[in-house]
């Protein structure tokens, strides 16, 4: 029970700090789950992000579910998911009642503009950390560059396609490397 409560509280704390959507939570997830709690490795978290991007729902919620399930099975997945969603649910409910009264105020518009810039920087920092762990040799660099260029030029293509193609490329490359040895 203590572990379930710990999952809920940890993910609720992260949920409170999620301004800008699920992607904005990635650096917080990385710090809390990998560095502070040691509930997952960098590689596992990268896998959770990739799977979370391909499955329906918000990437941060999906990742919380994966981590909770890893820690304490189905109950852990449910509790971690509830923890990460609970603060947003409360905050959105309160803001929904107030935002229409204040959204035209310049101070509110300027605050949201500043928050958006901050969120971009946080996402960029998380991406750089993940990049350092994911691109470990020439084949992974080639996969990274192809996916990056492909996602920029073919923006209408689902991210699922890129993940499946990258996974296939990783399997093929590793099998070819194994045959060379």
- pLDDT tens digits for 1-41? 899 999 999 999 888 876 656 667 778 888 888 999 999 99
Average pLDDT of every residue of the chain: 87
Mean pLDDT of 47-75: 86
* pLDDT reading at 97 higher than 80: no
- pLDDT on residue 80: 95
* pLDDT reading at 100 higher than 80: no
Alpha-carbon dihedral sign for residues 105, 109, 114, 116: positive
- State the Cα–Cα distance between residues 32 and 40, nearest whole angstrom: 10
User: Cβ(148)–Cβ(165) under 8 Å?
Assistant: no
User: Cβ(24)–Cβ(122) under 8 Å?
Assistant: yes
Query: Does residue 57 come out as left (phi exceeding 0), alpha (psi in the -120 to 50 range) or beta?
Result: left
Mean pLDDT of 81-87: 92
pTM, whole model, 2 decimals?
A: 0.59
- pLDDT on residue 20: 59
* pLDDT reading at 153 higher than 80: yes
| pLDDT over 90, % of the chain | 40
Position with higher pLDDT, 20 vs 76? 76
DSSP letters spanning 36-51: IS-SS-HHHHHHHHHH
- pLDDT on residue 73: 94
Cβ-Cβ contacts under 8 Å for 40 (sequence gap 6 or more): 33, 34, 48, 67, 70
Would you place residue 152 in the very low, low, confident or very high pLDDT band (cuts 50, 70, 90)? very high
* pLDDT reading at 75 higher than 80: yes
User: Cβ(115)–Cβ(17) under 8 Å?
Assistant: no
The three-point CA angle 76-82-83 to 5° equals 90
């Amino acid at each position: 029970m203590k572990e379930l409560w710990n999952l809920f509280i940890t993910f609720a704390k992260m949920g409170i700090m999620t301004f800008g959507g699920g992607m904005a939570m990635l650096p917080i997830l990385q710090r809390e789950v990998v560095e502070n709690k040691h509930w997952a490795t960098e590689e596992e978290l990268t896998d959770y992000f990739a799977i979370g991007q391909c499955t329906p729902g918000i990437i941060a919620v999906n990742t919380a579910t994966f981590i909770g399930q890893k820690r304490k099975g189905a109950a852990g997945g449910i509790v971690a998911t509830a923890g990460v969603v609970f603060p947003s649910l409360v905050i959105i409910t309160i803001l929904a009642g107030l935002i229409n009264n204040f959204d035209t105020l310049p101070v509110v518009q300027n605050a949201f503009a500043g928050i958006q810039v901050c969120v971009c920087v946080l996402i960029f920092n998380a991406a750089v950390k993940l990049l350092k762990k994911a691109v470990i040799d020439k084949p992974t660099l080639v996969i990274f560059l192809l996916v990056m260029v492909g996602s920029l030029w073919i923006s209408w293509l689902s991210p699922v396609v890129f993940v499946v193609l990258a996974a296939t490329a990783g399997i093929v490359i590793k099998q070819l490397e194994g045959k060379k040895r």
